[in-house]
Structure 1
Amino acid sequence: MDKDRMSVRSALKTIMKAIRVTEFGGPQVLKLEINVPIPEPAQDEVLIKVEAAGINPVDTYIRSGTYAVKPTLPYTPGKDVAGVVEDVGAKVLHLKKGDRVYSMATTSGGYAEYCTAASSGTKILHSNLSFQEGAGIGIPYYTAYRALVIIGGARPGQTVLIHGASGAVGLACVQIARSRGLRVLGTAGSQAGIELISRNGCDVAFSHREEGYTDKIMEATERTGPDIIIEMLANVNLEKDLSMIAKKGRIVVVGNRGSVEITPRLAMQKECIVTGMVLFNASQDELNEIDAAVSAGMRDGWVKPHIGKMYTLEQAPVAHDDVINNKGAQGRLIFKIC
């Protein structure tokens, strides 16, 4: 480490507050510790002073121990953050101390006052957006773009149904679809959610708690069905999606919490494609495309995460319960750190 970088490090605090998980389990295993050493960035990493951290459903799966890839205990959860660069590794050339950034590539965990992150996954946060909004960009918008555009093959003039549009990924899908010239249909589980997705660009909004809402969706498409369906809860909705999708259409499964029985003949009749999507399967070329699209969206103003609720780190167990057991998602949940 050179003298300049040593002086930067010496000017920083040495300990911080952070959530630590020492055993897998329910939300109660999220413990706030106040004497956690501030991590030091590797050569290709940056150190970020975290202003806000995003709360993703996948964080709860990892915490519970049910996720396919388990971190080494103890660990700090959280991949999505926004904040200010405090230090950079020796090989980092495109970022510098003082840059406003967002990242979905934390390496030490984002539920903390400071975190390290891979420089390749850390991007400049446009001045149009607050840090709280910045913490809503990473996983939600990258997931939405990959599901809708790269996997779903969305084209201007098509009709997309976002089945569960009022959550963070769903709202990102609405904004992306609107920006690309699609007709956007969306569902939500509450009146507030319906109003939210309408404000964000849904041409027609439906309550998925209303009896017969799928008939209304079909009426809105003149009985042909949506060309694309982005599905947030496949174990509940996949059979309905198969009954609604247009011939030769595509259903992209983004979220699922269990098994489901379907009627394969529906897929045969429609000759549709049902495909899953996991963001972390994205190639570097795909990530580069998403980077460019999101950067343009921030500049042009259509990338605008809606913050549904903010929490302190002390409220981490409540936040993890809320992100899974909400009664109608309404945007992004975040920790406000500073």
Structure 2
Amino acid sequence: MPTSTRAAVLTHHGGPEALTLESSWQVRDPGEGEVLVRVSAAGVNNTDLWTRQGAYGVPGDPDAKSGGMGPIDFPRVQGGDVAGVVVAAGHERDETWVDRRVLVDPAAYGSDGPDAMPVGYQGSEYDGGFAGYMVARTDHVHDVHDSPLSDEELACLPVAFGTAARMLRRADVSEHDTVLVTGASGGVGVALVQLADAAGATVVAVTTAAKRDAVLEVGAHHTVCRDEGEVADLVGDLVPDGLDVVADVVGGPGLGDLLPRVRDDGCWVIAGAIAGPVVELDLRRLYLHSIRLVGSSMHSPRDFAHLAELARGGSVRPPIAARYRLEEIHEAQEAFASSRHVGKIVLLPHA
């Protein structure tokens, strides 16, 4: 069992300099109910950048430096998306996990039960997968040994697809719905497109003209290009009868403009704010038309178990935009922040 590993370690909130590459980061022994995972691939997410920047704010002070769940204990190994192989167990009863290929659930839950709420996040409240090895709880690893997906594809799933799965479940998306997906070329956006399409819904994706073909290829039925006109007007022309669901990871001023395009009894579910966390909207559009405005964060145990089942069956196939070695993490995060890609950026700790 290794005693040290390479790891990308967050030392404070800040720019790229806050994230350092350690060549001999100590690997702790797994305890009872834990296993040691050799990380095959780890996905990059907005959460990693926002946690590094401390960009989540706190109640009453949206500009305060904070992680998503509050203050971060430094140093911290980042990385919420992990696929790998179990190489050791902390107790003999857990040794059946050894040599299994696994997908790691990155959420820490505040209670038991299939619909428990996340209270912590791997790579934020506890160490994650931007390392050669990591310790995971046995109730957080899911066997995907027979999945047709590659390790790199599996590593695209936990955060983005887990977030998307919960969003669509909270919005009760079905085959009868027309669903608008904002930010459709990003990790969660692509996941929303693929999962809504798999549910039989009609998917309208907001993207750019340069990314239109790629977004259609991953499963969107129609696109609205924000660089070709006002999104609300374009949506009104495309879907004159209105939208059943908006699955939003963008936020910003577009929320107020698009809200009138949602049908009566429709739903707006939001899990991101990359266009701005503070918005104005006409509350009359909500209550007069019985529109549900639903906040959604990470997945529940039920959502992640469903995601692992989809992975085992190969029902989703996340596109990989780029691959980087662990020592190229700054380049990987820079590429991620540029938003020029479609799909996920993946780190390979052992490449």
TM-score (norm 1): 0.87
- CA–CA separation in structure 2 for the residues paired with 1:183 and 1:304: 19
| C-alpha RMSD of matched pairs (Å) | 2.0
Give how far 1:294 is off.
Answer: 2.0
Match of 2:282 in 1: 263
Tell me which moved more, 42-51 or 299-308: 299-308
- CA–CA separation in structure 2 for the residues paired with 1:92 and 1:253: 41
1:241 lines up with 2:254 in the alignment: no
Judged with a 3 Å threshold, the aligned counterparts in structure 2 of structure 1 residues 270 and 325 are, in CA distance, closer, same or farther, namely farther
Match of 2:58 in 1: none
Give how far 1:230 is off.
Answer: 0.4
In structure 1, which of residues 11, 16, 21 is the aligned counterpart of residue 5 of structure 2? 16
Q: Paired residues, what number?
A: 317
The one-letter code matched in structure 2 to 1:35 is S
In structure 2, which of residues 151, 162, 183 is the aligned counterpart of residue 131 of structure 1? 151
- SS of 1:58's partner is helix
1:230 lines up with 2:242 in the alignment: no
Match of 1:332 in 2: 344
Match of 2:216 in 1: 198
1:293 lines up with 2:334 in the alignment: no
Greater per-residue helix proportion: 1
Percent identical among aligned pairs is 27
Mapping of 1:5-154 within 5 angstroms?
12-65=1-54, 66-67=66-67, 68-90=69-91, 93=94, 95-105=96-106, 106=122, 107-125=126-144, 126-149=146-169, 151-154=170-173
- CA–CA separation in structure 2 for the residues paired with 1:186 and 1:240: 16
Report if the CA contact (8 A) 2:187-2:343 is conserved: yes
Report if the CA contact (8 A) 2:81-2:156 is conserved: yes
Match of 2:336 in 1: 323
Match of 1:7 in 2: none
- CA–CA separation in structure 2 for the residues paired with 1:296 and 1:35: 36
Give how far 1:261 is off.
Answer: 1.7
The one-letter code matched in structure 1 to 2:17 is Q
The one-letter code matched in structure 1 to 2:315 is W
1:176 lines up with 2:188 in the alignment: no
Mapping of 1:158-177 within 5 angstroms?
158-177=177-196
TM-score (norm 2): 0.84
Judged with a 3 Å threshold, the aligned counterparts in structure 2 of structure 1 residues 92 and 188 are, in CA distance, closer, same or farther, namely farther
- CA–CA separation in structure 1 for the residues paired with 2:262 and 2:202: 15
- SS of 1:270's partner is coil
The one-letter code matched in structure 2 to 1:97 is V
- CA–CA separation in structure 2 for the residues paired with 1:84 and 1:52: 10
The one-letter code matched in structure 2 to 1:334 is V
